[in-house]
């Protein structure tokens, strides 16, 4: 595998493949395990993630890379094989979440700033040695128009941090996934999501340019343009696709090799149908694929429920979602295939 940043980035968004976001922090994975009645211990977290990485059908055919949490990149499978080696054996690229989470932004109630820049150069050096060839940093932008959220300060500080992170990654030979997530939790309409995402991405690409980040060696991980969950409005896949592509054509440079969406709380099938509709209206100057956490893992988590006898069923559920999203990344998904 080539070590050039642009080759790694191109492999991350290769045709019909996308990224498995398995980098839930200890707090988030506990929430997911609580929902299926499984205690969150170092061993259950390992068993669960090992199950995913040993899902050969999904991993070999539809998954280009896996985002890991710090604990996981150091863990070994039950038989002693490092989990990173399991991933590499399938042909997928190991990646690592390096941000330290979103914290309240002082002076701006409702806004957050993602932390984790201090000591990042040294951490990246270690992660490289542990096998990571790409990284992820998630900035979180909430929308609450009545409260003036997000402030221009929140957008500005978060994208500045993303640019500093991206430059450090490239220095370390690691491709940065640049993730400015505009949340879909609010009650805003799709036009507001478009405006806020546009303001964020415009500023982001200005900061990346100023930080001398080579766009060819990056992957963008954005939200789709979609109405907030509390708006009471459901957008059709065609609407989501039209707004999303209109925006990206306006603000994402063609030098960016690929865009890998987060699922952000969309249902499994919604995330797939929307990605499919986005690709169906191509051609586009960038690859458009998935970097899903929840929309790839909800089904296998439920099928597994912490029981060894359910491992095969969980792997089948994961492979099914991976295949559906792999097809959507080529605009070849059809609703009828969901039942197959
Ligand atoms: P979701 O697909 O569950 O939004 O998670 C993707 C992710 O990695 C968010 O940072």
* pLDDT for the residue numbered 57: 97
Residue 31, helix vs strand vs coil: helix
Q: pLDDT tens for residues 267-318? A: 999 999 999 999 999 999 999 999 999 999 999 999 999 999 999 999 999 9
CATH number, residue 273: 3.20.20.70
Residue nearest to atom 5 of ligand 1 (CA): 293
Which residues span the domain enclosing 269?
Answer: 5-339
pLDDT surpassing 70 at residue 1? no
Q: How far is the CA of 179 from the centre of ligand 1 (A)?
A: 10
Number of domains in the chain: 1
Q: pTM for this structure?
A: 0.98
Across the chain, mean pLDDT equals: 98
* pLDDT for the residue numbered 337: 95
In this prediction, what percent of the chain has a pLDDT beyond 70?
A: 99
- From 294, 318, 322, the mutation candidate for ligand 1 (largest count of ligand atoms within 8 A of CB) is 294
Q: How far is CA 122 from CA 4, 70, 86, 133, 164, in A?
A: 20, 14, 25, 15, 14
Residue 239 makes CB contacts below 8 A (sequence gap 6+) with 190
The residues carrying an active-site annotation are: 179, 221
Q: Ligand 1 within 6 A of 294 CB? A: yes
Q: Ligand 1 within 6 A of 266 CB? A: no
Q: pLDDT tens for residues 208-262? A: 999 999 999 999 999 999 999 999 999 999 999 999 999 999 999 999 999 999 9
Q: Ligand 1 within 6 A of 293 CB? A: yes
Cα 299 → chain centroid: 17
């Amino acid at each position: 595998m080539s070590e050039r940043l642009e080759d790694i980035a191109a492999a991350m968004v290769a045709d019909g493949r996308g990224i498995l976001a398995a980098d839930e922090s200890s707090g988030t994975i506990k929430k997911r395990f609580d929902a299926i009645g499984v205690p969150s211990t170092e061993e259950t977290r390992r068993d669960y993630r090992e199950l995913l990485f040993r899902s050969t059908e999904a991993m070999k055919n539809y998954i280009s890379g896996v985002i890991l949490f710090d604990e996981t990149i150091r863990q070994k499978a039950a038989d002693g094989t490092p989990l990173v080696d399991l991933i590499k054996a399938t042909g997928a690229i190991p990646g690592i979440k390096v941000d330290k989470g979103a914290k309240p932004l002082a002076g701006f109630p409702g806004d957050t700033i993602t932390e984790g820049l201090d000591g990042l150069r040294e951490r990246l050096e270690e992660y490289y040695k542990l096998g990571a060839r790409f990284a992820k940093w998630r900035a979180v932008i909430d929308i609450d128009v009545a409260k003036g959220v997000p402030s221009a300060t929140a957008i500005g500080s978060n994208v500045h941090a993303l640019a500093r992170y991206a430059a450090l990654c490239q220095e370390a030979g690691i491709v940065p996934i640049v993730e400015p997530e505009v949340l879909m939790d609010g009650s805003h309409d799709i036009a507001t999501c478009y405006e806020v995402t546009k303001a964020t991405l415009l500023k982001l690409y200005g900061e990346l340019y100023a930080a001398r980040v080579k766009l060819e060696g990056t992957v963008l991980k954005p939200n789709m343009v979609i109405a907030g969950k509390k708006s009471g409005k459901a957008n059709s896949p065609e609407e989501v696709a039209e707004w999303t592509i209109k925006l990206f054509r306006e603000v994402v440079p063609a030098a960016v090799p690929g865009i890998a969406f987060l699922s952000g709380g969309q249902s499994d099938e919604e995330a797939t149908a929307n990605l499919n509709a986005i690709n169906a209206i191509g051609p586009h100057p960038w690859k458009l694929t998935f970097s899903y956490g929840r929309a790839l893992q909800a089904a296998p988590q439920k099928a597994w429920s912490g029981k060894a006898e359910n491992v095969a069923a969980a792997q089948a559920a994961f492979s099914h979602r991976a295949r559906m999203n792999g097809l959507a990344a080529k605009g070849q998904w059809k609703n009828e295939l969901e039942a197959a």
